[in-house]
Chains A and B, each alone.
Chain A
């Protein structure tokens, strides 16, 4: 039998908050909870008791009745803490240790070496003042605000201030094209747009004013623009829209009642906090609403218990303001953890620029992705030798599957610390599998399933605690979405998560659950495309491609990348008008259109012309059949296809290389 990659020190594990809380649960319930298995079984079976105890133990600032913990038992319908009121921002900015106002809470670094830091005291004061300013321009609880923003300190500040007032926050990164931004923001109907007007990546500066103008022109609900950098528009702002700078709003709010007070408004547990986007296989991106209470409790559980974050930690997670890991990172403020933001290219101006930043900032937990680890490996870098990270105590990775050899590489070439592969997603704003301070790390595996989530592998109609199958969760948990926007009766929400396996949340991943409690994510089980960790909405891709002259039909597929073990690449199949041929100029034009109108991640690695795409007898296109053919797998449900003969052509592309 193989050995674990890393084994915890028993004394350190016993001091962890996971162990402390486990002991607390045993004491309060009188149960024997000596092992992780016993603790997890209890937390899943008696989730009401678990969440009640966790709420008390975590010191969450809240008011109202802690009972009932959960109304209903159905995983789709259950509602947690219906009589509780709280505020996510208040809990992030609370006093974690006495006198922590002087402690550095957030550092924002950019690729040009720029650095700004905020103490917890400064963050509290500025968030309050900005909230006062937003209140003065009419932002109210229940409003929605959006950000077209870089991964910078002012973005976090804007989010804290807006959500503190009860407005829901939603953000996208500046590399998203105008059409893709509007496909998201038009559904939200925001009242305020926070925007950066300047963006630097890899040494090249790019003005964003034209994009901001184009976005605003199609968002009539926006009453005000808050400029996150500089002075904003070079000419007049668009008519009907008030223009503010972040600093001016903050100064205006400094004299407000809110800025002078010590209280924050509190909201119902399910009050909308974030709107995140999930790119589906059809239609516009789904707008997933997450609530204050579910987000806060789930992140506290993942951060303090599973990850062991505390006031002595400095956390860096590589993300943009538009990915859910940004929200996850910001939430770590609630543990008293210092967070580090990085704006720019991780490999500019030097190949190891990001690592040098981690070293300078004495990062203790490094969150990364398999794609970046693969880059370090391919570039022949040896961080342990050249850029040692002596303070590092853990590496976390998410976005796609971290394969065994990358665990070993990290251990040998970065640091001999636990490598924690964590996985979940936008849908739950958290993780289903992640790390554990008291369990060993096995290469290629996540250490355990998330506490109090009854995660199983469903196959052949049975959901099992061990084995391989589709990831399902059998019990309710607080961080399920509050719902979707533009889905008044919840039909789309229920259809998305609860229609595949009765009485269970279906996540859209395949996984293996091992006897020893660890888990291995195997990839997507639904039609969602995930390329190098980024979810891509095929519908957005089709809207660009099918608008091009001469393209009759198109289908996007994720294919195992032949040159990158474990990696995936985007393949676009196109059907052209009669007589048209996919030549190089057309291929480059398709890529350019996608880069400009969608985003760089929508650009396929391979574009291939086919005569037809597989369709069912009902006329529905079958991505599954095309994907099976592309991967030379037996095609599922072949009899359901109207034109199975077209698969042979796709099968021949299976070995196609990027042109």
Chain B
């Protein structure tokens, strides 16, 4: 179930990327819960995280500090969406 607080655009961006690059239409089903660890459940490895970060940076026009590339910020759909939602670059982009 998708928590109401998750930015739906960002959520879809991540799911689509996982489908395009790793899970080919099965990402939503594999993830199951937005809190599920990507690392522990084999949804993404560190190499994949780096590719995802590069995709988010390019698509959203933001720069993610590599020091932030930790499981606490990125290991799971809710964490990724939460981190990017709070990113100053993304917030500025969303501001009218």
Interface residues in chain A, defined as those with a beta carbon under 8 Å from any beta carbon in chain B: 201-204, 345-351, 353, 375, 378-380, 563, 585, 588-589, 591-592, 595, 603, 658-659
Contacts A585-B25, A595-B24 given; indicate if A204 touches B42 (C-beta within 8 A): yes
Chain B 36-73 interface 0/1 with A at a Cβ cutoff of 8 Å (1 = within): 00011110011101100110001000000011010000
Chain B 11-48 interface 0/1 with A at a Cβ cutoff of 8 Å (1 = within): 00000000111001110000000000001111001110
**Is the pair A659, B20 in contact by a Cβ cutoff of 8 Å?**
yes
User: How big is the B interface, by class?
Assistant: 20 to 34
Tell me how far the C-beta of B60 lies from the nearest C-beta in chain A, rounded to whole angstroms.
15
**Is the pair B20, A658 in contact by a Cβ cutoff of 8 Å?**
yes
- With A202-B45, A585-B25 known, 7 other A-B pairs at CB within 8 A are A351-B46, A353-B46, A378-B50, A379-B46, A379-B50, A563-B58, A595-B24
**Is the pair B45, A348 in contact by a Cβ cutoff of 8 Å?**
yes
Contacts A378-B54, A379-B66 given; indicate if A350 touches B46 (C-beta within 8 A): yes
**Is the pair A589, B39 in contact by a Cβ cutoff of 8 Å?**
no
9 tightest Cβ-Cβ pairs between the two chains A and B: A380-B66, A204-B42, A347-B46, A351-B46, A592-B24, A588-B25, A591-B24, A202-B45, A379-B50
Q: Which of A201, A378, A603 counts the most chain B CB atoms within 10 A? A: A378
| Chain A residues in 8 Å Cβ range of B39 | 202-203, 348-349
| Chain B residues in 8 Å Cβ range of A353 | 46
- Cα A353 to Cα B21 with chains together (Å): 23
| Chain B residues in 8 Å Cβ range of A658 | 20-21
Contacts A379-B66, A563-B54, A588-B19 given; indicate if A347 touches B25 (C-beta within 8 A): no
Tell me how far the C-beta of A174 lies from the nearest C-beta in chain B, rounded to whole angstroms.
15
Tell me how far the C-beta of A203 lies from the nearest C-beta in chain B, rounded to whole angstroms.
5
Contacts A563-B58, A589-B25 given; indicate if A347 touches B20 (C-beta within 8 A): no
- Cα A595 to Cα B22 with chains together (Å): 9
Tell me how far the C-beta of B73 lies from the nearest C-beta in chain A, rounded to whole angstroms.
13
- Cα A263 to Cα B61 with chains together (Å): 67
- Cα A659 to Cα B55 with chains together (Å): 11
**Is the pair A347, B54 in contact by a Cβ cutoff of 8 Å?**
no
Tell me how far the C-beta of B36 lies from the nearest C-beta in chain A, rounded to whole angstroms.
13
**Is the pair A380, B46 in contact by a Cβ cutoff of 8 Å?**
no
28 residue pairs A–B, Cβ–Cβ below 8 Å: A202-B39, A202-B45, A203-B39, A203-B40, A203-B42, A204-B41, A345-B46, A347-B46, A348-B39, A348-B45, A348-B46, A351-B49, A353-B46, A375-B46, A375-B50, A378-B50, A379-B46, A379-B66, A380-B67, A563-B54, A563-B58, A588-B25, A589-B24, A592-B25, A595-B24, A603-B24, A658-B20, A658-B21
Contacts A203-B40, A349-B39 given; indicate if A588 touches B46 (C-beta within 8 A): no
In the complex, residue of chain B having the shortest beta-carbon distance to the beta carbon of A588: B25
**Is the pair A379, B41 in contact by a Cβ cutoff of 8 Å?**
no
Tell me how far the C-beta of A572 lies from the nearest C-beta in chain B, rounded to whole angstroms.
13
**Is the pair B47, A347 in contact by a Cβ cutoff of 8 Å?**
yes
In the complex, residue of chain B having the shortest beta-carbon distance to the beta carbon of A372: B47
Tell me how far the C-beta of B18 lies from the nearest C-beta in chain A, rounded to whole angstroms.
11
| Chain B residues in 8 Å Cβ range of A345 | 45-47
Tell me how far the C-beta of B38 lies from the nearest C-beta in chain A, rounded to whole angstroms.
10
**Is the pair A375, B41 in contact by a Cβ cutoff of 8 Å?**
no
| Chain B residues in 8 Å Cβ range of A378 | 50, 53-54
In the complex, residue of chain A having the shortest beta-carbon distance to the beta carbon of B17: A658
| Chain B residues in 8 Å Cβ range of A351 | 46, 49-50, 69
**The one of B24, B40, B47 that contacts A375, using a Cβ cutoff of 8 Å:** B47
- Cα A380 to Cα B46 with chains together (Å): 12
| Chain B residues in 8 Å Cβ range of A595 | 24
- Cα A204 to Cα B45 with chains together (Å): 11
- Cα A478 to Cα B21 with chains together (Å): 42
| Chain B residues in 8 Å Cβ range of A603 | 24
In the complex, residue of chain B having the shortest beta-carbon distance to the beta carbon of A201: B42
| Chain A residues in 8 Å Cβ range of B45 | 202, 345, 347-348
Tell me how far the C-beta of A120 lies from the nearest C-beta in chain B, rounded to whole angstroms.
34
Tell me how far the C-beta of B78 lies from the nearest C-beta in chain A, rounded to whole angstroms.
19
- Cα A379 to Cα B21 with chains together (Å): 18
In the complex, residue of chain A having the shortest beta-carbon distance to the beta carbon of B19: A588
In the complex, residue of chain A having the shortest beta-carbon distance to the beta carbon of B51: A378
Tell me how far the C-beta of A239 lies from the nearest C-beta in chain B, rounded to whole angstroms.
35
Q: Which of B42, B49, B54, B58 counts the most chain A CB atoms within 10 A? A: B42
- Cα A592 to Cα B27 with chains together (Å): 12
- Cα A93 to Cα B20 with chains together (Å): 47
| Chain A residues in 8 Å Cβ range of B67 | 380
Tell me how far the C-beta of A597 lies from the nearest C-beta in chain B, rounded to whole angstroms.
12
Tell me how far the C-beta of B76 lies from the nearest C-beta in chain A, rounded to whole angstroms.
14
**Is the pair B69, A379 in contact by a Cβ cutoff of 8 Å?**
yes
- Cα A345 to Cα B38 with chains together (Å): 14
In the complex, residue of chain B having the shortest beta-carbon distance to the beta carbon of A206: B42
Chain B 77-89 interface 0/1 with A at a Cβ cutoff of 8 Å (1 = within): 0000000000000
- Cα A591 to Cα B24 with chains together (Å): 6
In the complex, residue of chain A having the shortest beta-carbon distance to the beta carbon of B20: A659
In the complex, residue of chain B having the shortest beta-carbon distance to the beta carbon of A381: B66
| Chain B residues in 8 Å Cβ range of A659 | 20
Tell me how far the C-beta of A545 lies from the nearest C-beta in chain B, rounded to whole angstroms.
14
| Chain B residues in 8 Å Cβ range of A592 | 24-26
| Chain A residues in 8 Å Cβ range of B47 | 345-347, 375
Tell me how far the C-beta of B42 lies from the nearest C-beta in chain A, rounded to whole angstroms.
3
In the complex, residue of chain B having the shortest beta-carbon distance to the beta carbon of A593: B24
Tell me how far the C-beta of A60 lies from the nearest C-beta in chain B, rounded to whole angstroms.
40
In the complex, residue of chain A having the shortest beta-carbon distance to the beta carbon of B58: A563
Tell me how far the C-beta of A413 lies from the nearest C-beta in chain B, rounded to whole angstroms.
12
Tell me how far the C-beta of A439 lies from the nearest C-beta in chain B, rounded to whole angstroms.
33
**The one of A202, A203, A588 that contacts B24, using a Cβ cutoff of 8 Å:** A588
Tell me how far the C-beta of B57 lies from the nearest C-beta in chain A, rounded to whole angstroms.
10
Tell me how far the C-beta of A199 lies from the nearest C-beta in chain B, rounded to whole angstroms.
12
- Cα A353 to Cα B24 with chains together (Å): 27
| Chain B residues in 8 Å Cβ range of A348 | 39, 45-46
Tell me how far the C-beta of B29 lies from the nearest C-beta in chain A, rounded to whole angstroms.
12
- Cα A345 to Cα B40 with chains together (Å): 13
- Cα A380 to Cα B67 with chains together (Å): 8
| Chain B residues in 8 Å Cβ range of A350 | 46
Tell me how far the C-beta of B59 lies from the nearest C-beta in chain A, rounded to whole angstroms.
10
